[in-house]
Amino acid sequence: MARHYDTLFIGGEWIAPSSADRLTITSAATEDVIGSVPEGKKADADKAVAAARQAFEDPKGWAHWEPAQRADALERLAAELDKRAEDTARTIASQNGIPVTVTAATESFFPAATLRYYAGLIRELPVEISHASPFGNQTRVRREPIGVVLAIAPWNFPQSLSATKIAPALAAGATVVLKPSPETPLDSYIFAEAVVAAGLPAGVFNLVPGGTEVSEYLVSHPGVDKVGFTGSTAVGRSIAVAAAKLLRPVTLELGGKSAAIFLDDADLNLATIGEQLFLSTLVGNGQTCFISTRILAPRSRYSEIVDTIAGFASHLKVGDPLDPTTQIGPMVSRVQRDRVEGYIAQGKSSARLVTGGGRPVGFDKGWYVEPTIFADVDNRSAIGAEEIFGPVLSIIEYEDVDDAIRIANDSQYGLAGTVWTTDHDRGLEVARRMQTGSVGVNAYLPDFSSPFGGVKSSGIGREFGPQGLEAYVQYKSIYNG
């Protein structure tokens, strides 16, 4: 059943938008309309920032609550999200085409778990500590919330990647304006409904759906103190430029072209590694920033690895994202499918197509692309170097471990990566030499208690872990005479 919302959530109330313009959301699988929301404009953004500012500056408000009181509220919000878990998973799967089994394991789990993690963290951390200064006096150091936070979420994992900003910001005592992706705004309304049910104070969380115009306006808004963004590197660069002009801190989690280094002793038994290989390389229909889309294979086992990866990909079930047996669903939109198919066309002229490369048979509607594997890929070609964001893997040959690490590091990106080996210590040694923000050995799964983020063109700053909380606090030193 389609969901149509007529209001924005600002200042703790559902209010009428300033414009009659709307965002229409279609199913990635059927192309049918599944909902619509108001398209926020500059006037709506102003109201949201003003509400967040008022809530932040209230001398008895959120920023001044005891950490334990805020923690209690975050745990209530987590409980309300749990009640809506199934609805959230199905809504997101319908919007972006990512299989419901994946959205149930991520979008229905990570946001609540992240809220509970930061609730626990702020219960333990002191707001103020004192120490003896070199001058014989005492200095007090206070942790204070950064202010009004603009959180901009992408369409691939909209709830989880909103939570990486909302949870630590609220835990720190900041207030939030969320700008969801125009492709996937419906689940943000479910989140807002949970905020209401949890009893968070008015203005602590505000929701303004919209497109590029309202995003750019909010990023440069004088009432915003911090921007947290997940999305493409190109957009991240534009946000960084705008923030630099305002001397505004940003956290940017951007694109990736991560490498999976298969060492010469890697286990290639799909019965053993198949599940983790899928989660590390093709989860989310390939629409996942951290997946290892460059497969680096040693010359001594190159043909064997090509055959293994091709067999693995060709047997994945493509289908309706709401079908619990589906492993690969459609791309989020026609535009994204066209982009992926453009890269596949380039790959056919520069590398060897092993499997896939077209649209799956039997799908007359929806933005489907077959899981596609290319071998004999040049690391600096388009399909070897650029983020495709679809179910396309590139296999690259290497000579020895030093060569593998050189190829893995020869990238503008550095978000994640994996190492595949039966020698765990050897895997750790290789992982330490990879220029990237995170690495998995024989598996990959972000851990919300540990920092996550990228180097080079994959971003600035870290989310998750204590470091994620640090991004939303500022320090004040008080010197005693």
Domain ranges (residues) in the chain: 3-254+456-479, 258-441
For β-strands 417-420 and 440-441, DSSP reports them as parallel
Nearest to 279 by CA among 84, 420, 467: 420
CB-based contact 29:365 (threshold 8 Å)? yes
CB-based contact 377:394 (threshold 8 Å)? yes
Nearest to 296 by CA among 394, 180, 190: 394
pLDDT for res 134: 86
Signed CA dihedral, 357, 277, 384, 343: sign only: positive
pTM, full prediction:
0.96
Residue 479 belongs to what H/E stretch? strand 473-479
Ranges of residues in the chain with a pLDDT under 50 are none
Nearest to 456 by CA among 416, 417, 413: 413
- Helix boundaries (H) for 37-176: 42-57, 67-83, 85-96, 100-105, 110-124, 158-172
Quote the CATH superfamily of domain 3-254+456-479.
Answer: Aldehyde Dehydrogenase; Chain A, domain 1 (3.40.605.10)
Q: Which residues contact 219 (CB under 8 A, 6 or more apart)?
A: 150, 152, 227, 239, 242, 243
Gap between the Cα atoms of 290 and 72, Å rounded: 32
pLDDT for res 139: 93
Neighbours of 349 (CB within 10 A): 8
pLDDT for res 429: 98
Locus of tokens 């979008």: 107
Cross-strand bridge partners of residue 372:
392
Positions marked catalytic: 253, 289
Q: Which residues contact 235 (CB under 8 A, 6 or more apart)?
A: 229
Each residue of 395-422: b (16+ CB within 10 Å) or e?
bbbbeebeebbebbeebebbbbbbbbbe
pLDDT for res 437: 98
DSSP 106: T
Angle at 235 between CA 97 and CA 329, to 5 degrees: 10
Nearest to 388 by CA among 356, 436, 435, 434: 356
Nearest to 376 by CA among 303, 434, 293, 269: 303
Q: Which CATH number fits domain 258-441: 1.10.3720.10, 3.30.420.40, 3.50.50.60, 3.40.309.10?
A: 3.40.309.10
pLDDT for res 7: 98
Tokens representing residue 107 in the block: 């979008």
Neighbours of 425 (CB within 10 A): 8
pLDDT for res 427: 98
Domains 3-254+456-479 and 258-441 alike in fold: no
pLDDT for res 136: 78
Gap between the Cα atoms of 427 and 431, Å rounded: 6
CB-based contact 40:216 (threshold 8 Å)? no
Tokens representing residue 28 in the block: 């990635």
Gap between the Cα atoms of 308 and 274, Å rounded: 10
Q: Which residues contact 450 (CB under 8 A, 6 or more apart)?
A: 464, 465
Phi, psi (deg, nearest 5) at residue 151:
-110, 120
Each residue of 145-162: b (16+ CB within 10 Å) or e?
bbbbbbbbbbbbbbbbbb
CB-based contact 316:392 (threshold 8 Å)? no
pLDDT for res 135: 81
pLDDT for res 480: 86
N residues, the chain: 481
